[in-house]
Structure 1
Amino acid sequence: MRGHRDVQALSDTDLAVYEAVAAIAVGGEAASLAAVARSTGLTEERTRASMAILVEKGQVVPSGDGFRLGRHDFEVDY
């Protein structure tokens, strides 16, 4: 397991990006960088930096042109 996967240990920005990926991915589609930026109100540059942190920690994984949640042991209800 790479990195620490406790989402409660994320910064506010990283948590917002993680939650945006979760909200988009729950519909079965990969979350694009642009869609996550729009959802969070962050710039694409800041979203990209946060996404890199989340990928490194295993919280999200690249999927095609977007991102999905990494392995986790909880359900997300939307």
Structure 2
Amino acid sequence: MPDEESLEDVQEMTTADMTVYEAVAALNTEERPATAAEVAEMTGLPEDDVRRCLAGLAEGGRLVPKGDAYVLGTHDWGLEY
């Protein structure tokens, strides 16, 4: 698990990372994990790019893999979509 400081530094995220993270968050508000295919369709990003972003966000602790999908990692803020 990454340290607290690395999770707080949003500036280290690329535009693609932020776009993918927001798509996962939107799907998670419906209480369902997000697959790479769903995120690619939502964002218009190529699925290979989405998979790289998902893997990096999971490695950084921002997302948690659930089978072949992802949910949000630990955070201390609410979502309003």
**What TM-score comes out, normalization by structure 2 length?**
0.88
Runs (4 or more) in structure 1 with deviation over 6 Å come to: none
Look at both structures and tell me which one has the larger radius of gyration over its CA atoms. Answer: 2
Could you tell me which runs of 5 or more consecutive residues in structure 1 were left unpaired when the two chains were aligned.
Answer: none
Structure with greater contact order relative to length (CA < 8 Å, sep ≥ 6): 1
RMSD over equivalenced CA pairs, Å: 1.3
Aligned length: 78
Could you tell me which runs of 5 or more consecutive residues in structure 2 were left unpaired when the two chains were aligned.
Answer: none
Give % identity: 40
Q: Aligned pair in 2 of structure 1 residues 47, 7: CA closer, same or farther (>3 Å)? A: farther
d(CA) in 1 for partners of 2:34, 2:14: 20
Secondary structure (helix, strand or coil) at the match of 2:65 reads strand
Residue in structure 2 matched with residue 6 of structure 1 by the alignment: 8
